[in-house]
Structure 1
Amino acid sequence: MIKKYIDKIKTDGLLLNILSNFIFKGLGIGLSFISIPIMLKYLDKDNYGLWILILSITNWIYTFDIGIGNGLKNRLAESLSKKNENEAKKYIATSYFFVTIISIIFLLISWIFLENIILTKLLNITYLSNDELNKIIFINIGFVCINFVFSLCNNIFLGSQKSYLSSVNNVLSQILNFIFLLLLFKIKENSIVLLSFSYGLGISISHIILTIYYFYKNKELLFNIKDIVLAKAKNIFGVGLKIFLVQIAGLVIFSTDNFIITKYTGIENVAVYNVVNKLFGIPTLILTLITAPIWPAVTKAFYEGNRIWIKDTLKKLEKLFLLLVLMVIILISIAKPFIKIWTLNEIEASYSLIIVCGIATLLTCFSNIYSTLIFAIDIKWYLLILFVSQAIINIVVSLIAIVYFDLGVVGVVLGTCFSMLTNIFVLPRSLKKMIEKI
């Protein structure tokens, strides 16, 4: 019986990707949870809040590929489904070329920006000089720009329906970062500068190792400079640009929270918000583990005209959502005492923050189920307008909740919830129309 299931997993590429994601991401979750109390002890509450804010700033850069990564993922899935390795190779080479150019431009823009702005005043940080903060930010931006290019390998893994390699990449970088953190903790020199170097280096090493491994195993896709075809940019950007605009809207909805909290309630509250978010990120992460390999599989099914498979996949994801609802309810019930124990009494969260974070998690999971399948097929312009409107609504409602109703961090999360409510009505209807037209 066991051998039967093992054989089934080996022959079912999608199932193999999903199970591999769970195994490797499970390791990643464990390392992430262990790292937080260590990092809180290493940095203290204020510096940990600053570190999370820095990651929020630098992570924005990863979306500024103008949709190249997601465009490559879809085009690669299409080319490989047609057994056209030469076409796939050209898409990979062209994507690397454009991402490298964008990375260099962004690094120069960041340097000019930091030279001409008082960042401590903008972010309301008083215990560091502007030069110190600029140095820390620029080190992180430098590493992010390097990894901006290297991280394109993850889109190649996903487009090749080898998403388990993306999970291996993630857990390897977390293992390296955890080792570096333990070394920093041992030398007892509390420094965000050293943490920035170790964090960026760990991610770079992981990307390089997995990229070399992938092209060693897939030599037919190994490219050179002659494979860069600028005309391919139109095909990559076409689908990718829409996804890029959606990502920007998503970043505004989720990443601006740290900025608003820092500006209006203080840097120390970023740590509280981040810890609660990390706990409620588990259901979202579980869903992502499943939907990440499903995305290219849906793209493949779409080009093959396999409507039945896509509908069946949607039904399974809708059943999964009911289990995620139960998980969120359990997390809400145990969150307060668990967070105190987990963070070694460094963080204490209110019940109101825990409840609204639980609601935000459910809205996010619900939206992700439908948006993943929509992105794999096509994105209509009216959906882009919807997502951009949600980003604006999130900022406006969050500011009103903090400034006029004095709701603090809870108000910021309520802004997120309010902005995503329309997804309940719009996304399912939009997806079902797309499926019926296949």
Structure 2
Amino acid sequence: MTTEVAKRRTTNYFKQVQASVLFKAGAVLASFISIPILIRYLGVEKFGVWSTILSVMTWLVLFDLGVGNGLKNCVSKALADNNRVEARKYISAGYTLIGGIAIVLWLFSFFGAYYIPWHRVFNTIAVSENEIRLTVQISLSCIILNFWMGLVGAILGGFQKTSLVALGQLYSNIFSLFFVCLVWAMLDPSIVVLAIVYGVAVIFSSILLSVGFYKDNKDLIPVFFWRRKYINPLLSVGLTFFTIQIAVLVVFTTDKILITQFFGPQMVTQYEVVMKIFALFSFAHALISAPLWPAYSDAFHRKDNHWIRQMLIKQLMVFAVFVVAVIVMVLIAKKIILIWIGDDLAVSIDLILVIAIFILVSIWNNIYAMILNGVGKTNVQLITAVLAMLFNIPLAYVLVRVYGLGVSGVVVAATVSLLFSAVALPIQVFRSALKENSGE
């Protein structure tokens, strides 16, 4: 390990954050502009159905069995060893493996959609059964195709170029906003049309990223490649991440399903609007933390634990700033919603407060998860994530049905479930991750 390598890593980190802020700000702005347009286009209940469908569709991204995250770590290690030939083999193995998974997943989910009672799932009669099914099938097809094409995001992460992933999100959101405006002006309300619009936007953004990356890295263009030596590491590392992702998914994305089942899809809109406001802080923190995963991995493989410690201190200082900013947002959130959406949507201060706390706890957890992901120490994270998954839904039921906390009860349950990680992850970082592999 040399001081020069550490300086380059730090410089690259700040460059990625700066570029990500620009790209992500544009992506968030496009998303915010599209929300009131979609609510006016679809109406409150149909928008709730559409928003829930999007959440369900994002679950499929996790069915890469964690291969994307495994590939990120393997590519990062190969580059730390200055071995681009090895990196290409992992990249090729990743595309081959994901391609096979995508085909099986598409066949299973596309035809399985005919046997699911969608009206019961979304608790609505505002949209016909056939329209919901077709929307789901179109969304499935687009997301699963991007499931394979979007693997470039993991590779960019391994190259410590996470800002380009944010650029892809900017492309996708701008394309979506443009077509949503056209649809609003020209067509009758239809969630099927929106499924096509969003699907095409996501796929096109992945195409642009892939063309740009492989144009500059022709020696890494993947080919069909199936060797257990390279497949097994992707799966062994990936399956741990996959289990963690599934568990975290239950906590983070089942809220809309629970709210739909407890209160109906019209209440999802209230939740979605408040969450969109406070998700700004999650987005902002993601811009800061995402480049750290591969950077921590690079530092760990070069035995530079001093750099990891210094960066953790800086992240905790940033967290303090986020706490203050979130408190300010709690005080002005209602005024923002009034200006943004209008007076047609009433939002309680209780919901605002519990979502604010949920966001802060998730950011705290993410600080330590980035270190543990980068250094490959995920056992404690796995255990706490599974505990959160098992705890979340039963607690939500009790808080809503027994104690009558309403929509806020669903968010409180998710927040309490995250407390396992909030305590355990910092302990693991300080007791083990920062003490091992030290080259100081």
TM range (shorter): over 0.9
**1:285 alignment partner, one of 259, 283, 286:** 283
Matched residue, 1:156: 155
Aligned 8 A contact 1:45 1:346 in 2: no
Tell me the SS of whatever aligns to 1:379: coil
Matched residue, 1:3: none
Residues 264-283 of structure 1 correspond to what in structure 2 (within 5 A)?
264-283=262-281
Task: Give the partner amino acid of 2:421.
Answer: N
CA distance in 2, matches of 1:348, 1:228: 55
Matched residue, 2:3: none
Residues 120-131 of structure 1 correspond to what in structure 2 (within 5 A)?
120-131=119-130
Tell me the SS of whatever aligns to 2:142: helix
Matched residue, 2:369: 371
CA distance in 2, matches of 1:21, 1:9: 18
Matched residue, 1:4: none
CA distance in 2, matches of 1:348, 1:54: 23
Matched residue, 2:240: 242
Percent of counterpart pairs with the same letter? Answer: 32
Structure 1 residues 347, 9: CA separation in 2 closer, same or farther (over 3 Å shift)? Answer: farther
Tell me the SS of whatever aligns to 2:400: helix
Aligned-residue Cα RMSD (Å) equals 1.5
1:399 corresponds to 2:397: yes
Matched residue, 2:337: 339
CA distance in 1, matches of 2:300, 2:390: 32
Shift of 1:9: 9.8
Q: Unaligned regions of 5+ residues in structure 1, if any?
A: 1-7
1:259-311: CA deviation from partner (whole Å, max 9, x where unpaired): 11001111001111011111111111111101111110100000000010000
CA distance in 2, matches of 1:188, 1:117: 28
**1:310 alignment partner, one of 308, 311, 318:** 308
Shift of 1:380: 4.0
Residues 99-248 of structure 1 correspond to what in structure 2 (within 5 A)?
99-225=98-224, 227-248=225-246
Deviates more, 1:376-385 or 1:134-143: 376-385
Aligned 8 A contact 1:90 1:229 in 2: no
CA distance in 1, matches of 2:420, 2:94: 34
CA distance in 2, matches of 1:174, 1:182: 12
1:134-193: CA deviation from partner (whole Å, max 9, x where unpaired): 111111111111111111111111111111211111101111111111111110421111
Tell me the SS of whatever aligns to 2:70: helix
Shift of 1:12: 2.1
1:195-241: CA deviation from partner (whole Å, max 9, x where unpaired): 1101100111111111011000111211222x443431111122221
Shift of 1:349: 1.0
1:416 corresponds to 2:414: yes
Residues 42-61 of structure 1 correspond to what in structure 2 (within 5 A)?
42-61=41-60
TM-score, scaled to structure 1 = 0.95
1:3-38: CA deviation from partner (whole Å, max 9, x where unpaired): xxxxx9999221111100001101111111111111
1:57-102: CA deviation from partner (whole Å, max 9, x where unpaired): 1000001111100000000011011111111111111111111111
Aligned 8 A contact 1:90 1:228 in 2: no
CA distance in 2, matches of 1:194, 1:327: 38
Aligned 8 A contact 2:385 2:421 in 1: no
Matched residue, 2:17: 18
Aligned 8 A contact 1:67 1:237 in 2: yes
- How many residue pairs get aligned? The number is 430
Matched residue, 2:4: none
TM-score, scaled to structure 2 = 0.95
Matched residue, 2:71: 72
Tell me the SS of whatever aligns to 1:64: helix
